[in-house]
Amino acid sequence: MTDVKLAIVYYSATGTVRTMAERLAATAEQAGAEVRLRQVQRQPTGGEKAATDEQAAEAEAAKGAPGATADDVVWADAVLFGSPTRYGNIAGQLKTFIDSLGAQWAQGLLADKVYAGFTASQTAHGGQETTLIALYNTIYHFGGIIVPPGYTDGSKFVDGNPYGVSHVTGGGNDIPVGDVTNTALDHLVQRVIGITRKLKG
């Protein structure tokens, strides 16, 4: 079995995406991968509203967690990017991190890796699919290998997202990550690790 180095790089505003990232990390470690779980720090933009109580609580809860660096992406054989949905796109904080990888991109250090994504939004049609597709537009420029879950497992006909994994939090952000999302996360990371092993082998 070929060892897989997996980086899970995420931005979480209220904790949902962090919960998803932690599930991915746990499943990946059980599958034998070496995992770096890395958060992107909250960096409010000029037009962003002040942090809500939920966002402030998440920032406090995430203190001390390792921050994402370019080295984490370069080190990895496979990368999972996670972000809440923002206007059908990834959050600015994750986009800023990805945009900072220009030097590594120019050297070809982001190419030939496996990539996939996960996201969350408040509503069922709140842009989860376009968020993942927008993320993958960047991966094309990296020369990365996108490994979506597709409909490669019966669970995908339940969660209904062939592009990656998404979770609906509800208008009050009060729907916790449950069995359907966890099963989809498990399938995604196991598929990513399996394909990466084949490529490395």
What's the rounded Cα separation, in Å, for the pair 49 and 52?
8
pLDDT, residue 66, reads 81
Measured distance CA(41)–CA(112) in Å, rounded = 27
What is the C-alpha to C-alpha distance for residues 117 and 165, in angstroms, rounded to an integer? Answer: 7
pLDDT of amino acid 53: 66
d(CA 117, CA 26): 16
pLDDT for 44 equals 57
Query: According to the model, what pLDDT value does residue 12 have?
Result: 93
Whole-angstrom Cα distance, residue 120 to residue 87? 12
pLDDT at 76: 98
Structural domains of the chain ordered from first start? 5-200 (3.40.50.360)
Print pLDDT tens along the chain (201 aa).
559 999 999 999 889 999 999 999 999 999 999 999 999 987 655 555 555 666 666 666 666 678 999 999 999 999 999 999 999 999 999 999 999 999 999 999 999 999 999 999 999 889 999 999 999 999 999 999 999 999 999 999 999 999 999 999 988 888 999 999 999 999 999 999 999 999 998
